[in-house]
Structure formats: structure tokens, C-alpha cells
């Protein structure tokens, strides 16, 4: 067993009296990949103390759960710097999408890239997340939009999880955009998505199913067909909902007991109530809000009032959030959306785990995974406060330093 002392621990446990579940002068014991004991050092049972063969002095570091990014499109080809220029010359995200740019241009670049090229490009991005204490990261497909290409993306995502010391969760986002070869035939493309899903699932490549419900993407009726297919396979669903307009996506997703609804700038009261009843997490994406220069802030107060759990994610993607820093998202969640630093940190730990349907992480307590990060800060709020700093000293994944 391994022991860490001379640290304070932001456990993020909900039943704790202290903000952040903070324990000053804490001790943590890991047994293999799991935590055996977390508490005040003075309360550590003597026999556990004696059983620890490896003892680590954390030198006053703050320890938090390993960070969890529950919404990324990390694997893609090319970039969209040209589109960034177009937008700065007056074009809007929607106009570019309708003109065949946007997601479609990334689809073209992604299809043209080999698995090795995608792996190289995506690994570089992933390493940035790893440097900042991320131990679990979700990756969506959705830039292939045909069987072999979606398979390539999901295989690259799985391979990244195997070669790097973190957990990668994969999400099939076949219903992300209409591929050019299906122009004007969205329902036919949904048939195609329904054909891809069971095959990719049978290959062990799919942990969850997502869709983009929006006027520039798919209608609630079309998303509903995808979710029915997911449900039939026993796969959990999540949804890109109410990003650019209110299309009732949140209610639809809640009807399918979605793990999460993501973006939500245009979420209605009915949507929030439905999410609360279904236990769906609200995944807020301040990077996309910032990068698209949106002005409509997600209804934070409404989410609080309905008791909807809030997660924060990077949405790492080439079009709306070319971002590889979850710490920066913590800051932006506070500055742009007015979350408290404590809510923001819960958003990349406990609630992010919930948004992925994982109940063994996101909180530091006995029986949870020994995934945690050591930070060179005195107070948890410093993680959300700084812009562009990376105070991560070390990350422990499944009980071992990486
Ligand atoms: O989460 N909203 C849809 N999908 C991505 C953007 C993808 C892209 O523009 O390439 C998002 O913002
Ligand atoms: Fe997204």
C-alpha cells in the first residue's frame, strides 16, 4: 500500500462539511488502483499506517481528484484557422456551416488523414490535457460520417487510451453533421447511422451515443431514431442541445434518460425541469461560447434552481473550441458563466464523472479510484483563478505516478 501525507485534499465529497470537501493536513492510502483510506492524518489508523510500504511526502501540495474532461472531439484532421479568419472578416459559424465549410471541412480533412496521422496529431493535443492532471477524457467520433471512417476515429481514440496513462471513453457521434454525399437526404443518412451503430458497438468501440440536435444539424425526430437504436443496444445517450437555438433537445434527451445535455445556451425552463427529473447532467462548454463569441449565457441560475448537476468540459474541436486546457475552462466557467470556483471544480471532477456514467471516480474517498493530481497551490480556488498557469506537480493514475 502507498501513503501520501503532508498535503491538503479537496475530496469533492458531497457529504463533507467543508467547501470542496477540503481536508487540511490529510493522509491518503492507495491499495493498488483504488483508494483505501482518505482523512485527517491524525485519524489514520495505526495498522494502516504500518501496512504502507511506500510513503510519499507531498510537500504541502493540494490534492484533487484527477480531472475529467467529459466532452471532447479530440481526434480530427486538419484545422480551421482559415475559418477563424473568415469569421473575423464577418462570416458567422452558421453561415460557414451552410456554405459547406465548418464541420464538413473537418470531415474532409479527417477522411484524408491516415490513422497514424490522426494518432500523431491527436496525441499532441492529448498530452496537453495530461500535463494538467486529466485522468479521464471522453472522445467523440463524428468527423468520419461513414462506417470505415467513424471506425478509424474510434479506434484511434481507443489506441490513445491504451498507450497513454489515462482512461479514454468513446462516444459515437455519427449524427454530428450531414456528409456531403447525403446532401438533402438527412433521413437516409440517419438510416446509415443506424446501420453503423450496432457494428461499431459489436467491435467494442462505443461507450455512449451522442447527436447534434440543431437547425444546422439534425431534428428532434431524427435524433430520436438514433436514441432508440442506442437504447435497444443498452448504450447511454447524451446530446449537443440548445447551442444555437432552442429545439427542445433537452426534453428529448431527458426522455431517453440521457447522461448529459451539452452546451445549453438556449435551454428553456421545461428543458431544465426535464433534465432534473431525468438526472441528466448539464455539460457547459465555455470554450465554444467564448470562441464563437456567443452572447447568450447558459441559464445557470435556472440550473441551480432545478438542482441540475453542472459539468464543465473543453469541447476540444477544430471549429468551435480549439482548446486543450481544462484549467482554462475552469477559469472561463467562472468569469463567463459566473460559476463559483467550487462549482467549476466539481464540474471537472464529480459531475464530469456523472456525465460519463462513471461512479468510481471524481471524488477522493475510500473505494474510489486512486486517480488524483498534486498541485502547487494553497487553495482550490487558485486552480480556477489563474489564466495560463499550470501548477500541476504530478498526476497519479490508478495508484501509480505517470
Ligand atoms: O460541440 N456543436 C457541434 N459540434 C462541435 C463543433 C464541431 C465543429 O465545429 O467542428 C461543438 O461545438
Ligand atoms: Fe461538442
Q: Is the pLDDT of residue 349 over 90?
A: yes
Q: Is the pLDDT of residue 377 over 90?
A: yes
**Can you tell me the distance from the alpha carbon of 33 to that of 42, in angstroms, rounded to the nearest whole number?**
24
User: Coil, helix or strand for 193?
Assistant: helix
- 300 alpha carbon – ligand 2 mean position (Å): 19
Which pLDDT score is estimated for 379?
A: 97
Q: Is the pLDDT of residue 144 over 90?
A: yes
Quick one: which ligand is closest to 213's CA? 1
**CA–CA distances in Å: residue 217 to residues 38, 141, 184, 204, 271:** 46, 15, 12, 27, 19
Which pLDDT score is estimated for 97?
A: 87
Interval 358-372 mean pLDDT: 98
**Can you tell me the distance from the alpha carbon of 148 to that of 168, in angstroms, rounded to the nearest whole number?**
20
Ligand 1 contacts CB of residue 171 (under 6 A) = no
Ligand 1 contacts CB of residue 102 (under 6 A) = yes
pTM score, whole prediction: 0.97
Which residues on adjacent β-strands are paired with residue 5?
A: 57
Which residue, among 187, 169, 167, 166, has the nearest Cα to 178 in the 3D structure?
187
**Can you tell me the distance from the alpha carbon of 42 to that of 129, in angstroms, rounded to the nearest whole number?**
34
Taking only the tens place, the pLDDT of each residue in 313-338 is: 999 999 999 999 999 999 999 999 99
Taking only the tens place, the pLDDT of each residue in 164-180 is: 999 999 999 999 999 99
Dihedral through CA 192, CA 193, CA 199, CA 203, nearest 10?
140
Ligand 1 contacts CB of residue 220 (under 6 A) = no
Which pLDDT score is estimated for 302?
A: 98
**CA–CA distances in Å: residue 177 to residues 92, 181, 357:** 17, 12, 25
Taking only the tens place, the pLDDT of each residue in 33-69 is: 999 999 999 999 999 999 999 999 999 999 999 999 9
Could you tell me if 181 and 145 are in contact, meaning their C-beta atoms sit under 8 angstroms apart?
Answer: no
- 90 alpha carbon – ligand 2 mean position (Å): 23
Which pLDDT score is estimated for 172?
A: 99
What percentage of the chain has pLDDT greater than the value 90? 97
Amino acid at each position: 500500500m502507498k501513503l501520501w501525507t503532508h498535503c491538503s485534499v479537496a475530496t469533492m465529497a458531497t457529504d463533507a462539511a467543508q467547501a470542496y470537501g477540503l481536508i487540511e493536513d490529510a493522509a491518503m492510502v492507495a491499495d493498488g488502483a483504488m483508494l483505501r483510506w482518505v482523512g485527517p492524518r491524525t485519524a489514520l489508523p495505526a495498522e494502516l499506517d504500518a501496512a504502507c510500504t511506500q510513503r510519499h511526502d507531498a510537500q504541502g501540495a493540494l490534492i484533487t481528484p484527477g480531472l475529467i474532461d467529459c466532452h471532447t472531439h479530440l481526434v480530427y484532421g486538419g484545422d480551421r484557422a482559415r475559418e477563424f479568419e473568415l469569421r473575423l472578416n464577418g462570416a458567422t459559424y452558421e453561415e460557414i456551416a451552410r456554405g459547406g465549410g465548418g464541420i464538413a471541412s473537418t470531415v474532409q480533412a479527417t477522411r484524408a488523414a491516415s490513422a497514424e496521422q490522426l494518432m500523431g496529431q491527436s496525441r499532441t493535443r492529448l498530452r496537453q490535457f495530461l500535463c494538467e492532471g486529466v485522468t479521464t477524457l471522453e472522445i467523440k467520433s463524428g468527423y468520419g460520417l461513414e462506417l470505415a471512417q467513424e471506425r478509424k476515429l474510434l479506434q484511434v481514440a481507443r489506441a490513445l487510451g491504451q498507450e497513454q496513462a489515462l482512461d479514454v471513453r468513446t462516444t459515437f457521434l455519427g449524427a454530428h453533421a450531414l456528409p456531403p454525399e447525403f446532401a438533402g437526404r438527412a433521413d437516409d443518412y440517419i438510416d446509415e447511422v443506424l446501420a453503423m451503430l450496432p457494428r461499431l458497438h459489436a467491435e467494442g468501440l462505443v461507450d455512449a451515443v451522442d447527436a447534434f440536435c440543431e437547425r444546422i444539424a439534425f431534428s428532434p425526430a431524427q435524433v430520436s431514431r438514433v436514441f432508440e437504436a442506442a437504447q435497444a443496444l443498452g448504450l447511454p445517450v447524451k446530446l449537443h442541445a440548445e447551442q444555437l437555438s432552442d429545439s427542445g433537445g433537452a426534453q428529448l434527451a431527458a426522455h431517453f434518460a440521457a447522461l448529459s445535455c451539452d452546451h445549453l445556451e438556449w435551454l428553456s425552463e421545461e428543458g431544465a425541469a426535464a433534465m432534473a427529473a431525468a438526472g441528466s447532467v448539464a455539460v457547459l462548454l465555455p470554450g465554444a461560447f467564448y470562441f464563437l463569441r456567443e452572447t447568450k449565457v447558459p441559464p445557470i441560475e435556472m440550473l441551480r434552481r432545478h438542482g441540475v448537476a453542472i459539468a464543465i468540459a473543453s469541447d476540444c474541436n477544430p471549429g468551435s473550441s480549439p482548446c486543450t486546457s481544462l484549467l482554462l475552462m475552469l477559469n472561463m466557467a467562472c468569469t463567463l458563466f459566473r460559476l463559483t470556483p467550487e462549482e467549476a471544480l466539481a464540474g471537472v471532477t464529480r459531475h464530469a464523472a456523472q456525465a460519463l456514467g462513471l461512479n468510481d471516480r471524481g471524488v477522493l474517498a475510500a473505494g474510489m479510484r486512486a486517480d488524483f493530481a498534486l498541485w502547487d497551490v494553497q487553495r482550490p480556488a487558485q486552480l480556477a483563478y489563474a489564466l495560463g498557469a499550470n501548477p500541476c506537480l504530478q498526476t497519479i493514475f490508478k495508484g501509480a505516478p505517470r
